[in-house]
Chain A
Amino acid sequence: MSVRRGMWSAGTGDTSGYGRIVREVVVATPAAGPLGSWYDSVRDRLATLVADPFVKVVFEYGELTFHIPREKLAEAMWALRDDALLRFEFCASVSGVHYPQAAGAELHVVYHLQSMTHNRRLRVETACPDADPHVPSVVATYPAADWHERETWDMFGIIFDGHPHLTRILMPDDWVGHPQRKDYPLGGIPIEYKGTTVPPVDERRSYR
């Protein structure tokens, strides 16, 4: 996803001698080969019901993630909920993640589904570019996503098309900006203590 140099946060001088450390940040490598257990059957079943549904399928830390393009999201969610072999009838959580480095897919929406019938958990992830932050709403499929999508709009500025009432939920209605985006500052004021000034936490030099 990106490459990091040195051990300190950006814009701060490095006196440690570790400035030549280079680390590459790689997010979510697609799974290769069979996954075992129920994972293959669910993946194949969804591929049967929805044409070409995956950007990639990731299996990490014992958790299965379907990366689904936003054009297919609504259709895939209906299938995941209603098909007898899938039956993910419960949408536990929707959350956003902002990856400013990922050009063309800066904003991610992550859905956590639960099948109570089969006792399985599944993560569905979809992405949209910052320039066109539109993702179809899944409220018609999962009414539970209503407030979660409002929160994701509030915090990340992702517009859920078809949401019945997409307004801010945690921040005041007239708030400007979307606080949990990475380019939104944390805020805070410098603290003066015994003659020195300590900058707010997001402006301090820090390890990374």
Chain B
Amino acid sequence: MTAQHTDYYGTPGEETEGTVYTAMGGGDFADIAREQAERSDETLVINMGPQHPSTHGVLRLMVECDGETVKSIRPGIGFLHTGIEKNMEYRSWTQGTTFVTRMDYVSPLFNEAAYCLAVERLLGIEDRIPQRATEIRVLMMELCRIASHLVAIGTGGMEIGALTVMTIGFREREMILDFFEAVSGLRMNHAYIRPGGVANDLPETGIAQLRTLIGWLEKHLPEYAAFCNENPIFKGRMCGIGHQDLSACFALGVTGPVLRSTGYAWDLRKQQPYCGYETYDFDVITWDTSDAYGRFRVRLQEMWESLKIVKQVTERLDASTGQPVMIDDPKIAWPAKLAVGPDGQGNSHEHIKHIMGESMEALIHHFKLVTEGFRVPVGQAYVPIESPKGEIACHVVSDGGRKPYRVHMRDPGFNHLQSVPIQCEGGMIADVVVAIGSLDPVMGGVDR
């Protein structure tokens, strides 16, 4: 209890004693080097980012180096803060999906899923979501997991000079995004998973395109293992870097591949199943090295596990063709049988015919549902799901109104960046980017 009043990072006024090392001000590098020479010590404060190709977006790192050794490192975030949570308080519950999808833009479907599951819990309709809608959600999430891991592995590889891993990673990801585009109309920022189901059924060619995609991934995923697994340079850069053991993961709230690289098989899909994950056959991947290389191997193998789930769900989707993808509740459900127009936007012609030509009441009802939206009972819900990065969760508070009272997204990257100092201090400056890459933060999700 006494620790409460201890100032961990130094007392006020302490920095006025001795040389003040600061990353502020910038200036000409020649001046900095001259000051350095005059000072005749090896301490150098480097302000890395927020605009830096290796910080995964706008992450700022204040690094205090002694020669090439990192003495202290402090991440600074907030450069991509867009006030999404505040904005959602002024829009309807359905519009909320459009906002959350822009948080972690590398795995947008997980943001949508966490938000929609939380809203559905408050609405009390968790058991009434159509089977096919849940299957499509699982399909989209698992493909999204592969796409996200490809970005993590690809950009992580690029930062240590393994450019081919990046180019082939984005090639595979683009195939997945093509499928997303065929299904939702958009490569990213889908707003596809909605409270009550999904926005639209798979297109007619969906299953066929999915089978092509599975074939493509089966053919090309082994390349990563062939390129990297035993590559001596790759291993030299990754092994033993960014070490963080299990107790540190617990203390700092770290989940996902980083936690599983310590050997602890914690995966919410197994531990606290949602969306029917308990009915799929897959394994939780662990590694026992607690380092960047372990996380790489966990991600690599997880892509195969996701592909296993995708194959199982493909068979189920084949069997459930034609079944509804939106809840059978006219007070919540938007029309979900959409035809895609030339501009990629969808309309339900059948529904338009009904409301414009047949029923005045249906028109009024549609107008009210879309402009006013539905009301969600008073209360709060917290729904965690397993995103590619770890536990992503949505804390939703409703005051019974048509708009969220408060939405908070617990993004795994936000927690993970707290462990940058523990992974990097005492190591080499060149290993900082490896450690950050192995954490896989996406600043859109971290800053929201």
Co-complex (A, B): yes
Binding site for B on A (CB under 8 A): 1, 23, 25-28, 60-63, 65, 74, 78, 89-93, 95, 97-98, 110, 112, 114, 116, 119, 121, 123, 136-137, 140, 142-148, 151, 161-162, 164-165, 168-172, 179-180, 186, 201-202, 206-208
Q: Which residues of B contact A186 (CB under 8 A)?
A: 83, 86-87, 89-90
B371 within 8 A of A: yes
Tell me how far the C-beta of B285 lies from the nearest C-beta in chain A, rounded to whole angstroms.
18
State in angstroms the CA–CA spacing of A207 and B370 once bound together.
12
B160 within 8 A of A: no
Tell me how far the C-beta of A89 lies from the nearest C-beta in chain B, rounded to whole angstroms.
6
Given contacts A25-B400, A165-B9, contact A60 B379 (CB under 8 A): yes
State in angstroms the CA–CA spacing of A16 and B336 once bound together.
30
State in angstroms the CA–CA spacing of A79 and B250 once bound together.
17
Q: Which residues of A contact B81 (CB under 8 A)?
A: 170-171
Tell me how far the C-beta of B391 lies from the nearest C-beta in chain A, rounded to whole angstroms.
6
Tell me how far the C-beta of B87 lies from the nearest C-beta in chain A, rounded to whole angstroms.
7
Interface residue stretch chosen among B228-236, B315-323, B380-388: B380-388
- Tell me if A144 and B379 are in contact (CB < 8 A): no
Given contacts A121-B382, A140-B4, A208-B403, contact A92 B391 (CB under 8 A): yes
Which residue of B251, B266, B382, B399 is within 8 Å of A93 (Cβ)?
B382
Tell me how far the C-beta of B29 lies from the nearest C-beta in chain A, rounded to whole angstroms.
25
Contacts A92-B410, A143-B251 known; 9 new A-B pairs at CB < 8 A: A61-B381, A65-B380, A140-B4, A142-B253, A147-B414, A147-B415, A168-B78, A172-B78, A186-B86
State in angstroms the CA–CA spacing of A62 and B410 once bound together.
20
Q: List 11 A-B contacts (CB under 8 A).
A: A27-B379, A27-B399, A61-B122, A91-B253, A93-B395, A116-B250, A144-B254, A144-B415, A171-B81, A179-B86, A186-B83
Tell me how far the C-beta of B402 lies from the nearest C-beta in chain A, rounded to whole angstroms.
5
Tell me how far the C-beta of A22 lies from the nearest C-beta in chain B, rounded to whole angstroms.
13
B1 within 8 A of A: yes
Q: Which residues of A contact B254 (CB under 8 A)?
A: 144
State in angstroms the CA–CA spacing of A116 and B3 once bound together.
25
Given contacts A89-B250, A110-B380, contact A162 B5 (CB under 8 A): yes
Q: Which residues of B contact A145 (CB under 8 A)?
A: 253
B67 within 8 A of A: no
B7 within 8 A of A: yes
Which residue of B9, B272, B378 is within 8 Å of A25 (Cβ)?
B378
Size bin of chain B's contact surface: 35 or more
State in angstroms the CA–CA spacing of A61 and B377 once bound together.
11
Which residue of B4, B78, B381 is within 8 Å of A162 (Cβ)?
B4
Tell me how far the C-beta of A123 lies from the nearest C-beta in chain B, rounded to whole angstroms.
6
State in angstroms the CA–CA spacing of A27 and B7 once bound together.
38
- Tell me if B78 and A171 are in contact (CB < 8 A): yes
Binding site for A on B (CB under 8 A): 1, 3-9, 77-78, 81, 83, 85-87, 89-91, 121-122, 124, 250-254, 266, 271-272, 371-373, 378-382, 384, 391, 393, 395, 397, 399-403, 405-406, 408, 410, 414-415, 417-418, 447-448
Q: Which residues of A contact B121 (CB under 8 A)?
A: 61-62
State in angstroms the CA–CA spacing of A20 and B124 once bound together.
28
Q: Which residues of B contact A91 (CB under 8 A)?
A: 253
Given contacts A27-B378, A93-B382, A93-B408, contact A119 B272 (CB under 8 A): yes
- Tell me if A208 and B401 are in contact (CB < 8 A): yes
Which residue of B86, B253, B266, B384 is within 8 Å of A180 (Cβ)?
B86
- Closest partner residue, chain B, to A75 (CB atom): B1
- Tell me if B382 and A112 are in contact (CB < 8 A): yes
- Closest partner residue, chain A, to B405 (CB atom): A97
- Tell me if A170 and B447 are in contact (CB < 8 A): yes
Which residue of B371, B382, B414, B415 is within 8 Å of A123 (Cβ)?
B382
Q: Which residues of B contact A169 (CB under 8 A)?
A: 77-78
Tell me how far the C-beta of A14 lies from the nearest C-beta in chain B, rounded to whole angstroms.
14
- Tell me if B253 and A28 are in contact (CB < 8 A): no
- Tell me if A90 and B415 are in contact (CB < 8 A): no
State in angstroms the CA–CA spacing of A171 and B85 once bound together.
14
State in angstroms the CA–CA spacing of A119 and B405 once bound together.
29
Given contacts A63-B381, A63-B382, A208-B403, contact A92 B78 (CB under 8 A): no
- Tell me if A97 and B379 are in contact (CB < 8 A): no
- Closest partner residue, chain B, to A120 (CB atom): B272
State in angstroms the CA–CA spacing of A172 and B415 once bound together.
20
Which residue of A97, A140, A168, A201 is within 8 Å of B406 (Cβ)?
A97
- Tell me if A61 and B379 are in contact (CB < 8 A): yes
State in angstroms the CA–CA spacing of A28 and B122 once bound together.
13
- Tell me if A92 and B384 are in contact (CB < 8 A): yes
- Closest partner residue, chain B, to A28 (CB atom): B379
State in angstroms the CA–CA spacing of A114 and B254 once bound together.
12
- Tell me if A144 and B410 are in contact (CB < 8 A): no
Q: Which residues of A contact B372 (CB under 8 A)?
A: 207
- Closest partner residue, chain B, to A208 (CB atom): B401
Q: Which residues of A contact B253 (CB under 8 A)?
A: 90-92, 142, 144-145
State in angstroms the CA–CA spacing of A149 and B89 once bound together.
21
Which residue of A90, A123, A201 is within 8 Å of B250 (Cβ)?
A90
Given contacts A162-B4, A208-B402, contact A112 B395 (CB under 8 A): yes
Which residue of B252, B266, B395 is within 8 Å of A144 (Cβ)?
B252
